[in-house]
Amino acid sequence: MHASTHYQLAQLAIRQGQPARALISLLTFLSIYPDNAGSRDVLILAEQISSNALELDAKEKLTPFIPNEAFRELDLLITSKAALRKDYTSKVKFNANLVKQTQLLVEKFPVAEPNETDLWLRVYTPLIQVLRQEENLVAFTYLILSSAEDNKASGWVKSNKGKIDKMVEAAGPAINQFRAYQIPSVVQGKPTRLKAWYTSEGKLEGIGDGEGAGEKAILRGPWQMIDEEGAITEEGNFSSAGNRVGTWRSYHTNGTLEKELAYDAEGKLHGRYVEYHDNGALSVEGNYDHGQPAGIAKLYHYCGTIREVRPYAQGDINGEVLFYYTDGKLQRRTNYKSDKKDGIETGFYADGTPEYTTTYVADKRQGAFTVYYADKTLERKGSYDQDEMHGPYIEYHPNGQVESTGTLNHGKLTGPLKLYYPTGKLSVEKNYDAATSELHGLYRDYDLEGKLLEEQLYEQGRVTRVIAYDAAGKVVSQTSVAKKGKTTVKGLRIDGTPLYTGSYLNGQPDGEWVFLHRNGATREIRRYAAGVRQGPTEEYYATGKLKQRYSYANDELDGFSEVFYPDGVVQRAGFYQHGQEQGEWHQYYADGTVSEEYNLLNGTAHGIARSFTPTRQLAQERWLEYGRLLALTAFDSTGRVIDRFDITHASKKFSLHYPSGKPRLESALACYELDGSAAWLSPSGKTEISYSQQQGNRHGAFRSYHPTTGKIAMEGTYRNGQREGEWKQYYESGKLRSKGVYRNGEEDGEWQYLFENGQPDMTRTFVAGELHGPARHYNMQGELLVEKMFERGEAVSFRGPGSDGKPTGAYQALAGSVSTQFANGKPAAVETYKGGRYDGIRTYYYSNGQVFRRVQNQNGGVLSGVLTTYYPDGKMREEENYAHDELQGRSRYYRPDGTLEREETYRSGEKSGPTSYYNAQGKPIKTEVYWNTYVYDVR
């Protein structure tokens, strides 16, 4: 112990009213530091205790928590001042009450038991035994009195140096004896006195018997291993030969049991072997047979459900190994022979659908493999040779179209490789040298229609020539690229408009490359160094506003990244490191206020996460570890806690509540993940949304309901967290509002949108989640207003309706002022485009000349201001206010007779504030107050 530790022990005893304990600790401090700057004050404190004159403020006193039976009698003797009588004499001639009280303390100090547990008896008994011998007590007393800066005491110390040295020589080891021997709380069921072992820095690292040091140390008997914080990490027994024997236990840093295992007499694992997660759930269980794993071993998820089952024989994994999802469903099955994979391995999605099949030989993939999408369609297939892809392979888009075809030679591309658009049209053709696997020969790039756009000639990974083609397949430009030095190149679209500019250095991309939108505006700026992405990259909308910016380091995303809304407001921001999202990230509402803040570790949620309302109020706070939700707190609009709960491996239910205490969300929970049925409820208890979940992902049927009528608002199916198959939306009346198909989470094919009267509102065509193909817009009478043609999400051309109400005529470019007319010559649609996006006021009509809808887009094409829609007779149908492309403020909706039906209030696209309903006479019948997207109050 350090001298300061003795002083702290004294203070602890003083505050508990235990003078004997306090006095021995103070005296020990003074014997170690008799001439310390603060020793005189310590001596005065010891004299006050000896005189029973020490007074403490009530706030400094502690309720005794250290059992004091052993020192009770000695305390009474000290406080009674019995030793201060004249007939009680001392050999120390110094006028201080401390002299006789010290003598009394040494004479009457309690006797320590062999396996004593009282800390003061364990620490100070060796010193007391030394002081009871010969003249040691006199020397000890004069030494501590020298702190008084008194000539008499210091003179005795100087003239009796031999006695002082002799006492110190005996007392020093006695004081340090506690450091050398510790008494664990329990070893084999009883307290045991054992030797303490220390690192070279003086930190305790173990308690137990043995001899030697370092790697040559031989440990024997019961032992406890100690970490730097003083916590036990392992405990068990060593044999006389220094082998671990019997049961050993190790502990997590939080003190919970980590492992429990058994050893035979030779120090080999033998018998039951068990590991636990730090949350107390089972992690591993199995058996050893004299050093070798034997029989069935089971591994468990963090929540304690079965994760893997392994069969062992002759110390190796032999037989079929099964892997499971957290809900117990089979994830993968594979065969092992002598600890190596051997045979067919099959993987499954969480719903049991086959995901892949492959074959192993001697722990290496060998032969054909196939991989499937969750909807059972083929994703890719090929072959392996000695764990390397070898031979022809083919990949498919989710819609079943071929995505790529090529050949590999032991993991390296060789020969021709073809890439295809989701439409099935050819996108890229390139060739790899069989010997070097470098790009070599012609690289052909095709547009969305499959027409040849550009050729690049490669020579062992370096470009030597760039050729551009027009729509007829004729060469329009050709640039030779120098093998050494810099060459500037320009790329062209099929129509001859510029596509990109950049430079090659020694045949590899280098410096700044600029890619352009169809309107000539910058689309992206990349930086290269010797063919590798380096430095910042910026992406832009066709309007010129920044869309995204991020940085690369050696072809990996690295550094700060930002994504922006079309009007320039930041949408998401955070950092990448070596290609993965790391640290604190933020997401923002369309007006720039923070909506989410969270921490990521290698792209996985880890740490604190917070959700905010559009009004900047904290709505929810979550704590996650490696993607697992461990704690959640939900707040109401005043900041009051509505829900607070911790999630453990045993948690089976997850609930959120309204401020009234009524349930808002009820979901099944398993293994730290939302799993099973879930329902969002209205304040009245009616179901608003119902769905099922699997492994934290929505899976199976989904339905939402209109809160006023209870009729279905939306229905569809999820598969592994992604929308799949046909989805439909309905009006409150039950009439169809929209329908379309999702494939692998992306819109696919034609989607239809209808007015409540059954007339078409809009049709859109999607390919792999992007608008691609015709999109038609109608008014409430089903009259076609305009047909627009999209290419990969970008509107490029339009045409109007013919006499038969169908789109007719040649397509015209979408730029500047755009208008269409009905067959009677009256306007159908009037729009303005800038940078490929709406700009300014747009107006749509009925064929009778009446306005159908008027809306405004500003600042990068986002919806701004009032959107008004009218019935065919001119009566108002709806008034909606927008800001930053989202509903903002008051919106009003009217019946066909012109009477107000309801008013809604929005903030950044979310209902926030009152929603009021009116009867046909215009009187309010109900008002729902929304906060954080749910009904907070009903009036």
Residue 763: its pLDDT value, please? 98
**What DSSP state is assigned to residue 52?**
T
Residue 811 tokens read as 């397509």
Torsions phi, psi for 769 (to 5 deg) = 85, -5
| Sign, Cα dihedral of 681, 682, 686, 690 | negative
User: Which range is least confidently modeled, 168-182, 342-356, 504-518, 630-644?
Assistant: 168-182
Q: Is residue 890 within 8 Å of residue 881, measured between CB atoms?
A: yes
Residue 186: its pLDDT value, please? 56
pLDDT band of 152, cuts 50, 70, 90: confident
DSSP H helices in 607-685: none
Stretch 843-864: mean pLDDT, rounded?
A: 96
| Sign, Cα dihedral of 37, 38, 39, 43 | positive
- In Å, what is the CA distance from 901 to each residue of 891, 893, 910, 912? 11, 6, 20, 18
Stretch 343-361: mean pLDDT, rounded?
A: 97
Q: What is the pLDDT of residues 573-610, one digit of tens each?
A: 999 999 999 999 999 999 999 999 999 999 999 999 99
Stretch 822-837: mean pLDDT, rounded?
A: 94
How far is residue 828's CA from residue 451's CA, in Å, rounded to a whole number?
34
Q: What is the pLDDT of residues 654-713, one digit of tens each?
A: 999 999 999 999 999 999 999 999 999 999 999 999 999 998 999 999 999 998 899 999
SS3 at position 842:
strand
- In Å, what is the CA distance from 298 to each residue of 274, 283, 305? 10, 8, 10
Residue 644: its pLDDT value, please? 96
Using only the alpha carbons of the chain, give its radius of gyration.
Answer: 41
State the virtual CA torsion across 329, 335, 341, 343 in degrees, nearest 10. -120
State the virtual CA torsion across 693, 698, 701, 705 in degrees, nearest 10. 100
What is the DSSP secondary-structure string of 371-425? EE-TTS-EEEEEEEETTEE-EEEEEE-TTS-EEEEEEEETTEE-EEEEEE-TTS-
Inter-helix orientation angle 136-145/97-108, to 10°: 140
Cα–Cα nearest to 814, from 852, 850, 845, 775: 775
Q: Is residue 175 within 8 Å of residue 130, measured between CB atoms?
A: no
Q: Is residue 904 within 8 Å of residue 898, measured between CB atoms?
A: no
Domain spans in the chain, listed from the N-terminal domain onward:
3-182
Q: Which residue has the tokens 């957290």?
A: 326
Stretch 272-296: mean pLDDT, rounded?
A: 97
pLDDT band of 189, cuts 50, 70, 90: low
497-528 exposure pattern, b = at least 16 Cβ within 10 A, e = fewer: eebbebbbbbbbbbbebbbbbbbebbbbebbb
User: Which range is least confidently modeled, 199-203, 380-384, 544-548, 792-796?
Assistant: 199-203
CA–centroid distance for 282 within its chain: 23
pTM comes to 0.79
Which residues fall within 8 angstroms of residue 95, CB to CB, at 6 or more apart?
none
Inter-helix orientation angle 19-32/136-145, to 10°: 80
Q: What is the pLDDT of residues 55-70, one digit of tens each?
A: 888 888 888 887 889 9
Model confidence at 151: pLDDT above 90 = no
